[in-house]
Structure 1
Amino acid sequence: MRCLAPLPILLCALGAPVTAHEVPSGQDVGLEEVLVEEAGGETLLRFRFVAPAIARESRALGPDQALPDLDHLCTSVALPYLAEHDLTAARMVLSLADRPSAFGVADAEITRFFEAYRPSGGNCIWEGL
């Protein structure tokens, strides 16, 4: 596990290979990284995916098509990742970006979609952002 500092919270990047995932829209999606944040006694996991089809230039897919993809990635990638790495989380934020990017670095050229979920009883409960 690689921890990034200095931050007021613990932020760690767990090794996550970039792989294609089948999603309802049929777009190509790869996992860029998983970040683990500890703040206020709770754990937040960020699953950052790359999805070139959401780029503004082509806009092959918009937010309405991305939401089912994020829901699917939560159940098919995020929940198994928690189990595989013996992690618990109060909340998970899943994001799609049209290209890889450094976490926390603003770039107006990148298209991003985010959704928040709470893992509960083997399910992803949408919390909306």
Structure 2
Amino acid sequence: MDTLGPAPGAGMTGPVTTGKVAGAPRDPATPAEGAWKRGRGCLLVLALTAAPALAEIGVSLPSGLDVTLHEVLTDDAENGSLFRFRFVAPEIAQAQRSVEELTDDMQHLCQEFALPKLSDLGAEPRQIVVSLSAEITDFGVPTPDVRQVFEAFSVRDDVCIWEPF
């Protein structure tokens, strides 16, 4: 995966990263069909990358938990199919919050935070994965000593629909 955005220390705390998880590499100059064909995917990545306010937003959740957006990742920038919104929630390291309570919070983050941000930028996601982590972790690197919770949501008719793993 490639990280797009300003150099470290340039005031951006949450880069957008793109890359393909599976499949043959493609020439980024030849985008896939759909909205991304007309360059909207490039604009989306630039808009998310260039918006420090988005990366620095703190969000209060229905449970009372406070979280901060760490980064937004996409595995398929050409088609915009999957976006990962990774949030940091230091309280989950000590607080004994139930999985159900955290799932409700992640539903709220998908519906009330991620989906509107992507919609404002013209993205049409098929799936949004929301994660909460007690501290910043590297994506894809096992960190068993850090509590992390993930939920996946499909998107239909501007609604986040929980999808069990």
Q: TM-score, normalised by structure 2?
A: 0.66
Alpha-carbon shift at residue 54 of structure 1 (Å) = 1.1
Gap regions ≥5 residues in structure 2: 5-16, 26-44
Select which of 138, 141, 152 maps to 1:102. 138
For residue 34 of structure 1, give the secondary structure of its aligned residue in structure 2.
strand
Gap regions ≥5 residues in structure 1: none
Q: Distance in 2 between matches of 1:127 and 1:120?
A: 12
Select which of 39, 46, 65 maps to 1:27. 65
Contact 1:70 1:94 in 2 (8 A): yes
Highest Rg: 1 or 2? 2
Q: Partner letter of residue 159 of structure 2?
A: N
Q: Distance in 2 between matches of 1:121 and 1:4?
A: 25
Identity over aligned pairs, percent: 34
| 1:83 alignment counterpart | 119
Contact 2:19 2:76 in 1 (8 A): no
Q: Partner letter of residue 17 of structure 1?
A: A
Q: TM-score, normalised by structure 1?
A: 0.83
Select which of 93, 102, 120 maps to 1:66. 102
Contact 1:44 1:93 in 2 (8 A): yes
Alpha-carbon shift at residue 6 of structure 1 (Å) = 8.7
Q: Distance in 2 between matches of 1:42 and 1:126?
A: 19
Q: Does 1:112 align with 2:112?
A: no
Alpha-carbon shift at residue 24 of structure 1 (Å) = 0.8
Contact 1:54 1:62 in 2 (8 A): no
Alpha-carbon shift at residue 125 of structure 1 (Å) = 0.9
Q: Distance in 2 between matches of 1:87 and 1:76?
A: 15
For residue 70 of structure 1, give the secondary structure of its aligned residue in structure 2.
helix
Contact 2:18 2:75 in 1 (8 A): no
Which has the larger strand fraction? 1
Which has the larger helix fraction? 2
Q: Distance in 2 between matches of 1:22 and 1:110?
A: 21
- Aligned-residue CA RMSD (Å): 2.6
Q: Partner letter of residue 85 of structure 2?
A: F
